[in-house]
Structure 1
């Protein structure tokens, strides 16, 4: 009886410890890491049609007003289809990508930002289904434009 009580106490202690320590918001993706390290160009953001940085929708070193039009680096099928995104930005001032749930960088309909480094929710968001936008809506399959900014208050990871 003492042994089973001790075992139960140990399990409860581990469970409580994991609640206190927590787990990462999103585990690293080997596919995203490989793409980031071997394929992604410095200074670019990427949008992917699938989770884990698969099926590139487009890449851009500048701002994109409308992912659904026929101009720019992200066009047509890109709008409202990203399930993962990546930021390999290098600018010292404008290095954060702000993704908007509407064209024209409109933040009224919800947005989410991605930093180029891991110190603040950054580098990539391997699964946007795990994220919400600033207005509470889903991040996956919601982005229609993006712009490079120097700061942000709502992050995707």
Structure 2
């Protein structure tokens, strides 16, 4: 009887592990694994928090994530929930909530030293719009061109 109760208790506690949400340390660990496996010189965007469900990646820029040209296409616009910067040039990646090569609309940047943002919730563009599920375009720029950074 004691073995049965002990086994039930252990299984019950193990089952709780399934219900406990991912901690920020675990989330950072997943993004860290993604960063180490990412191609050097590329910017990545993910549909889910914690660098899961990749939307795309590129060493280039894309002025409209919603059209059918460029590295991000169609349904990628306004779907990024986490991003990763594995650039090698020292440039920042500037993301926008607008499209077009006039680079209008609100923006924010991720520095090379930041590596990744595992969850964009709570961050805003210079326009005040939410960055999470709000990115429509991006480009590589000198940090001096950034009016706002994701780490600030």
- The normalised TM-score by structure 1 is 0.74
Match of 1:132 among 124, 131, 135: 124
1:68-107 residue pairs with structure 2 within 5 A?
A: 68-92=66-90, 95-104=91-100
Contact 1:105–1:146 (8 Å) recurs in 2: no
Contact 1:99–1:105 (8 Å) recurs in 2: no
Contact 1:132–1:138 (8 Å) recurs in 2: yes
Counterpart residue number, 2:9: none
Instruction: Give yes or no for the alignment of 1:116 onto 2:112.
Output: yes
Secondary structure at the aligned position of 1:57 is classed as: strand
Task: For structure 1, list consecutive stretches of 5 or more residues without a partner in the other structure.
Answer: 1-25
Measured after TM superposition, the shift of residue 86 of structure 1 is 0.8
Contact 1:48–1:84 (8 Å) recurs in 2: yes
Name the one with the larger helix percent: 2
Contact 1:79–1:144 (8 Å) recurs in 2: yes
Q: Structure 1 residues 111, 75: closer, same or farther in 2, change over 3 A?
A: same
Instruction: Give yes or no for the alignment of 1:153 onto 2:151.
Output: no
Counterpart residue number, 1:141: 133
Counterpart residue number, 2:12: none
Provide the alpha-carbon RMSD of the alignment: 1.7
For 2:147 and 2:101, locate their aligned partners in 1 and report how far apart those are by CA, in whole Å. 15
Task: For structure 2, list consecutive stretches of 5 or more residues without a partner in the other structure.
Answer: 1-23
Counterpart residue number, 1:32: 31
Contact 1:100–1:106 (8 Å) recurs in 2: no
